[in-house]
Structure 1
Amino acid sequence: MNALEKQNSTRMFGLDVIRAIAILLVLFSHVYYLIDSTNPLVISLSGLSGFAGVELFFVLSGYLIGSILLRQYITDNFSLQSVFVFLKRRWFRTLPNYYLILFVNLGIAFFLGYPSQYWYKYFYFFQNFKTYSIGFFSESWSLSIEEWTYILLPFSLFFTLKIGNKLSKKWTFLSTIFLLIILAHILRFFNMKNSDISTMEVWNTNLKSIVIYRFDTILYGVLLAWLHQFYTHFLNTYKIYFLILAMNLFVLQFVILNVLGVDIMSSPMYFHVFYFTLSSVIFFLALPYFIFWKNSQSVFFASVTFISKTSYAVYLIHYSIVAVIFKYILSKFSFQFPSILILFIYFGITFLLSYILYRFYEKPIMNLRDKN
């Protein structure tokens, strides 16, 4: 078996499906922007798909890093060296692509005249740490949340293990996750008491996209990793029921509550503190069904695997590079292109460039990491 066959044989098809769904939802969220749609339904669905796609990525990421950390935590001494090994492997996975695309975005921002006075914050993921300072490369808000959570979680696990070294690692790990989740809720509650967020636009930039209020969304995936490790049979037995519950909660949050007129003014506690909780719980409940989907003979197998493998590259370039430049080029024409042609070109260019980035930059770096 060659290296490629070995890699593909160890992939979990269900997780590839989740990645593919998440990135396609994110891509769809910019459709209205590209075709200049003013249809309220299209705009609403675009907003929902973008939010759902990113939140799904968050929970999936939490499950993956949680599985890695938990294995280290229960089998090793979990020293500071363990923490730095974990961080080094994560940074090999995320930072090379990020910094390459950041430099490209800096060039685009300069060329198109986008606000870039806070460009230096992007190098340390401070562009949305506690205040929103994003003038370009708007996708980076979610990457900041991920990177800071990668730091917060292992160090928290290390220190709580030292404090409670006589306790079972199983329960120390779980206690740490719950404490961090509670901390995020406390921070959002105090934000509600000390800020004036009265519109969804302000909510989007001053709460939804801020690291110190959102790190818990990844921790629900870590919690799922804990359940998968210690209660595998339980998750496998009830996975379809969890999926059905998740679907019903999704309809409740994004359809029924909207129809009932629940908004940020009438229910500030919900929108400030618990809106993200319910979103994360929905995807936390949906994920077990896909965790146990090991492989597939589906005719869509190759397409799903391709989209999954290139999903990080797609996320990095799809909007601030491809969509923005494509939109700029379209504005130079004196006539309107058919919407279907615009979308076909957009998706085609996005996946072509993403494959090139993955094949000739991301994958060699990952191979180097694994080799060393």
Structure 2
Amino acid sequence: MSASRNYGLDIIRTTAILMVMISHLGIIPSDIGGIKLGQLGVDIFFVLSGFLIGGILIKDFTKSDVSFPVTLNFWIRRWFRTLPVYYLVLLVKFIFLDHSLGYKVLVYFFFLQNNFVGINFLEVSWSLVIEEWFYLTLPVFCLLLFYKKRIDTRKFLIFIVCFITFVNLLRLIVAMKTNRPFDSFNGNIVFRLDALMWGVLLALIKISFNKIYVGISNSKVFITAAILFILSLWYFGKTNLTPGAINSLVWTRSVWFTLNSFLIALMLPYLETNFPGNSKPNYLRRSVTFISIVSYSAYLIHAEIYRFVIKAPVFSSGWYVQSLIGMALSFAIAALMYHYFEKPIMNLRDRIKIKTDGEKTTGALLQTESIKARN
């Protein structure tokens, strides 16, 4: 286990992927007591992604002026991490399992399925649509605000607050004025970008207002946020037990998303700060770290693996056995995908960098410090 990994963030990532995978099993309802377990796991992913990617972007634009080369380097690193394995799963599904979508599958390659053809072809992709558009648009906003300058902390803070406020007001107004159902808010790109921006806000606080971050990293804040989180889940679940309620009430289609993201963001600092990666590994830590590492591939393939297990006669041993086999196979195949596909591509990614200001050649392959350290 790498000492550079943060065990607290691995706990968060592992919790999120298990929530999603359990919600799709079938041994228990996907809505436990009315709580949407899978959606909750995705919300955790959103805030965590915003925190991690926001931190990278802020550091990049603090060390160098905000420019196209620096932005392009950010996109290259992000897309080398997320796109290859996504396209691999998409192509395997289309070529070998289901080509009914025809040429419309191209919409999936550009992450437009949420708003055009729907997500039935690859259901789990709905959250990736929101994340990928966030990765694309956030640097563009930074270019518009700070081009050829270092990022201004206070202006960026104002931008983040205005962005979150705008999305929340827009979602609230639409919820009040229309009868759009819960899922049309949950999977809408514009209506969910604020979830990732909460993570970016947290990253900015950690980097530029560290005393505040340390102050909210204590157990009291974590416990208070956790209690409020559980209470909000209970109330949402209680509401969801009434048929059609979450599709008609304003708060379930607006305020609920805000509250979720805010409380998740409040709980994250304690876990990130108090569970470093340099402690002696044990079975639990190794398991959590393993699940965290392969979580992206597992997220992409688990639904298809579940379908295969359910249909295969050799696995017809009841829901509980099928569920255990489905999860085990998902993690096993995800591990193979990570070691033989994801990891080699990320190693290649570490060698690619667009030359920025002060460097002589653009677009050359560079040997990075991380590669040197490994060699």
TM-score range, shorter chain: 0.7 to 0.9
Distance 2:175 2:199 in 1: 25
Partner of 1:126: 112
**CA contact under 8 A between 1:188 and 1:273: conserved in structure 2?**
yes
Distance 1:108 1:27 in 2: 23
Partner of 2:302: 318
Partner of 2:286: 302
Structure 2 residues without counterparts, runs of 5 or longer: 353-375
Match of 1:110 among 93, 98, 103: 98
Distance 2:18 2:239 in 1: 29
Indicate whether 1:347 and 2:327 are aligned: yes
AA aligned to 2:230 is: V
How far apart are residue 340 of structure 1 and its match? 2.8
SS in 2 for 1:371: coil
Structure 1 residues without counterparts, runs of 5 or longer: none
CA RMSD, 1 decimal: 2.6
Distance 1:306 1:56 in 2: 18
How far apart are residue 195 of structure 1 and its match? 3.1
- Could you give the per-residue CA deviations for residues 216-248 of structure 1, whole angstroms, max 9, x where no partner exists? 111111111011112333323432122112212
Match of 1:196 among 179, 187, 204: 179
Partner of 1:250: 229
AA aligned to 1:12 is: N
Distance 1:138 1:46 in 2: 21
Change (3 A) 1:185 1:175: same
- Could you give the per-residue CA deviations for residues 293-322 of structure 1, whole angstroms, max 9, x where no partner exists? 212335212111111110111111011x21
Distance 1:131 1:184 in 2: 21
Q: TM-score normalised to the size of structure 1?
A: 0.85
Partner of 1:230: 208
Q: Which has the higher helix share?
A: 1
**CA contact under 8 A between 1:187 and 1:212: conserved in structure 2?**
no
Partner of 2:366: none
Partner of 1:358: 338
**CA contact under 8 A between 1:16 and 1:305: conserved in structure 2?**
yes
Distance 1:178 1:281 in 2: 12
How far apart are residue 210 of structure 1 and its match? 1.2
Match of 1:371 among 351, 356, 360: 351
Trace 1:1-20 onto structure 2 (pairs within 5 A).
Answer: 8-20=2-14
**CA contact under 8 A between 2:309 and 2:325: conserved in structure 1?**
no
Partner of 2:357: none
Change (3 A) 1:54 1:265: closer
Change (3 A) 1:356 1:266: closer
**CA contact under 8 A between 1:59 and 1:280: conserved in structure 2?**
yes
Partner of 1:151: 136
How far apart are residue 109 of structure 1 and its match? 5.2
- Could you give the per-residue CA deviations for residues 86-129 of structure 1, whole angstroms, max 9, x where no partner exists? 11110001000010001122246527x6x66732210100001x
**CA contact under 8 A between 1:109 and 1:116: conserved in structure 2?**
no
Distance 2:212 2:110 in 1: 41
Change (3 A) 1:46 1:104: farther
SS in 2 for 1:97: helix
Q: TM-score normalised to the size of structure 2?
A: 0.84
Distance 2:311 2:133 in 1: 33
**CA contact under 8 A between 1:322 and 1:349: conserved in structure 2?**
yes
- Tell me whether 276-285 or 339-348 shows the greater mean CA deviation: 339-348
Distance 1:19 1:358 in 2: 16
Distance 2:10 2:157 in 1: 27
**CA contact under 8 A between 1:28 and 1:46: conserved in structure 2?**
no
**CA contact under 8 A between 1:21 and 1:53: conserved in structure 2?**
yes
AA aligned to 2:36 is: L
Partner of 1:264: 246
SS in 2 for 1:118: helix
Q: Percent identity?
A: 33
How far apart are residue 82 of structure 1 and its match? 1.4
AA aligned to 1:57 is: F
- What is the number of equivalent residue pairs in this alignment? 345
Partner of 2:257: 276
Partner of 1:52: 40
Partner of 2:367: none
- Could you give the per-residue CA deviations for residues 246-278 of structure 1, whole angstroms, max 9, x where no partner exists? 21221221113544789436741x122211101
